[in-house]
Amino acid sequence: MRPGSLRVVVAGGGVAALEATLALRTLAESRVSIELIAPEPAFVYRPLSVGDPFLVAETRRFPLAPLVDSAGGALRAGRVAAVDPGERFVETDGGERVPYDALLVALGARGREALPNALTFAGPESNDALKAVLEEALDGDVHRIVFALPGGATWPLPLYELALLTGSFLTDHGTGGVELSLVTPEEAPLAIFGREASEAIGELLEARGIALHLQTTPVAFEGGELTTAPDRAIEADRVIALPRLEGPRLEGLPSDTDGFIPTDDRCRVGFEVDVYAAGDATQFPLKQGGIATQMADTAAAEIAAQAGAQVEPEPFKPVLRGLLLTGMVPRYLRGEPGTPKSVVDTEALWWPPSKIVGRHLAPFLAEKLGLSESASRVLS
């Protein structure tokens, strides 16, 4: 700790945690001391995991400690299990009590199986199971694959990537006769990005021969049928679903029935003036890395101002940026929730053209890890 500096504790070691560390060090400089408490020793860059089974991309892992050090923080191993806002300390699962002047919770969300008997694609750990389905399709043992988006808080874009990449994979291997379908509660494909982007994605799915079932929530998969609400059944040999997400349910802080932490437009938690939260752990319904970085930036500006930095914090106003892998030319999507603004293009709409768009994190990862270069190779 630097004498006289504001003690900032960041719970988590993922995207929001690193973005907040970088933003704090940039805005507050030496006015803050930053300590990250993370349960894992590695930073996992997960957005490209959908490409692993198709050999078009790979999940990458990097030691977390040198990244945190380069970002201007210090790393403590452990998992934050509870918060005492009155006494201003967090308690780890190892029983350590770590005091703070300002706390940022960036613990992420946990995935749970949403459809029994379906393949729940949860990232790298699901690669072997998905590869097995692809092999079955190539061997002629599987003829109908359904991609299903569960209800509740989630991020739908990876499901569209899985469907499109599967279609391209089968075509590239000369395999026909496999019906692909996508089932989603959305009113339009990737409706969160706005009308223009949604219409373009709908046309892309139609051109690839992927059937689309909108305003349809998957309920159960059994006996070769996927039952849905409204009441209907879709024939399927295999169903690939995204997980249903749950929040961290952190003791000492408020949470909703799904465990997510409520925040205001300054990313403050409830009435706690020194506690903030960002990313998938919060009640904000869109669980995406770019959104997590924007929330982290909002919280970091508030904390920097508290530390005496000459900054003017602004409320959180989300802008969605999504890079859709299609197996051919990728699509860059941009939208602003609650407005009609929508853009879709085959050319990069931001730079570096990375999957996770963070004001500080994207250039940092490009410089330290070359992630923008690897993304460019995937997209070319």
Instruction: Outline where DSSP puts E strands in 64-216.
Output: 74-77, 80-84, 89-92, 97-99, 102-105, 110-112, 119-120, 144-148, 179-183, 210-213
Among 215, 6, 194, CA closest to 100 = 6
**Percentage of the chain modeled with pLDDT above 90:** 85
Both tokens of 265, joined, read 């437009």
Residues in the chain, overall count = 380
Reading the chain (380 residues) residue by residue, the pLDDT tens digits are 455 699 999 999 999 999 999 999 999 999 999 999 999 999 998 888 999 999 888 888 999 999 999 999 999 999 999 999 999 999 999 999 999 999 999 999 999 999 999 999 998 899 999 999 999 999 999 999 999 999 887 899 999 999 999 999 999 999 999 999 999 999 999 999 999 999 999 999 999 999 999 999 999 999 999 999 988 899 999 999 999 999 999 999 999 999 999 999 999 998 888 999 999 999 999 999 999 999 999 999 999 999 999 999 999 999 999 999 999 999 999 999 888 789 999 999 998 888 989 999 999 998 888 765 444 444 44
pTM of the model: 0.94
Rounded Cα–Cα distance for residues 105 and 195 (Å): 34
Please give the domain boundaries of the chain with CATH numbers for all domains.
6-109+247-317 (3.50.50.60), 113-244 (3.50.50.60)
Q: Are strands 179-183 and 210-213 parallel, antiparallel or unpaired?
A: parallel
Percent over 70 (pLDDT), the chain: 96
Give the three-class secondary structure for 326.
coil
Q: Are 173 and 165 in contact (CB under 8 A)?
A: no
| The two three-digit tokens of residue 141, written as one number | 């043992």
Plot region of 229 (φ>0 → left; ψ -120 to 50 → alpha; else → beta): beta
What six digits make up the tokens of 35? 């300590």
Amino acid at 146: V
Give 252's DSSP letter. T
Q: What is the pLDDT of residue 370?
A: 74
Q: What is the pLDDT of residue 374?
A: 44
The model's pLDDT over 50-98, given as tens digits with 9 standing for 90+, comes to 999 998 888 889 999 999 999 999 999 999 999 999 999 999 999 999 9
Q: Are strands 225-229 and 232-235 parallel, antiparallel or unpaired?
A: antiparallel
pLDDT score recorded for residue 147: 98
